[in-house]
Structure 1
Amino acid sequence: MSAAKIIVKLVRKKQNALRVTGILGAMESISSLLHSGEACKTELIRDHGEYDFWAFNQLGLLILKKLARDHDNCGKIGNTRGLLRKIIDFMQADERLLKDKRVTQSQISTVKRSLQVVKMLVSSTGVTGAQLRAEVSELVFTISYIRDILKHGENHPRLQKLGIDILTSLALEEDATERIGGTGGVVKELFNIFFREEVLEAQNHVRIAAGEALGMLAFESNRNCHRMLKLNVVYKLSDALESPLLRVNAARILRNLCVFSGAGFFEELRTIIIIAAPTVSFF
Structure 2
Amino acid sequence: MDLNLRGKRVLVTGGSRGIGKAIASAFIKEQSIVGIAARNMDELLKAKKELGADIFQTDLTSESEREDLIASFINRYNGIDILINNAGASHGDTVMNTSLQEFEAAMQLNFISAVHLSQLAAYYMKLNGAGSIINIASIYGREAGGHPTYNASKAALISFTKSFSTEIIKDNIRVNGIAPGAVFHPNKIWLERLQKDPDFIKNYSKSRIPAGRLGSPEEIANVAVFLASEKSSWIVGSTINVDGGQSHLNF
TM-score after normalising by structure 2? 0.31
Greater per-residue helix proportion: 1
Relative contact order higher in (CA < 8 Å, ≥ 6 apart): 2
TM-score after normalising by structure 1? 0.29
Larger Rg: 1
